[in-house]
Amino acid sequence: MKKRRIIRDIAIQRIKLLYKYAVHEVHKGNVWLAQRYMYIAKRIAGKAGIKVPRSIKRAICKNCLIPLVPGITSRVRLKSEGKGSRIVVTCLICGWIHRYPYKLGKKRVQK
Ligand SMILES: [Zn+2]
């Protein structure tokens, strides 16, 4: 249905916009406001029946929803243990640790 697609498009646009605002608030020091923006973004996604875009999902804390800005709200470390290498992102607000595997020598095109 066409209407549904339009709703999804609007939802994605709003989520992206809210993320942009949230990052802006982090830079200004308004952590709680940034969390509030991302909470709203998640609710929009839920209502529209879509997933939060991967690029944004990875850029916010899973636990407290704060946008993870390196040096302000997060600490980023690269770790190579055993077989794989990992990106370890620590949320400086709630202490949540996010780990993402990554492969060396393989370029992924980000949209
Ligand atoms: Zn957090």
pLDDT (tens digit, 9 = 90+) per residue, 65-88?
999 999 999 999 998 877 788 999
Contacts 24+ apart (CB under 8 A), 98-102: 98/58, 98/61, 98/62, 98/68, 100/58
pLDDT in tens, 6-22: 999 999 999 999 999 99
Rg (C-alpha) for the chain, rounded Å, is: 16
Q: Tokens 């609007």 — which residue?
A: 10
pLDDT exceeds 60 at position 106: no
Whose CA is closest to 34, among 12, 8, 68, 66?
66
Phi, psi at residue 5, to the nearest 5°? -65, -40
Distance 61 CA to ligand 1 centre (A): 5
Helix, coil or strand: residue 62: coil
Distance 99 CA to ligand 1 centre (A): 13
Mean pLDDT on 87-108: 85
Distance 35 CA to ligand 1 centre (A): 9
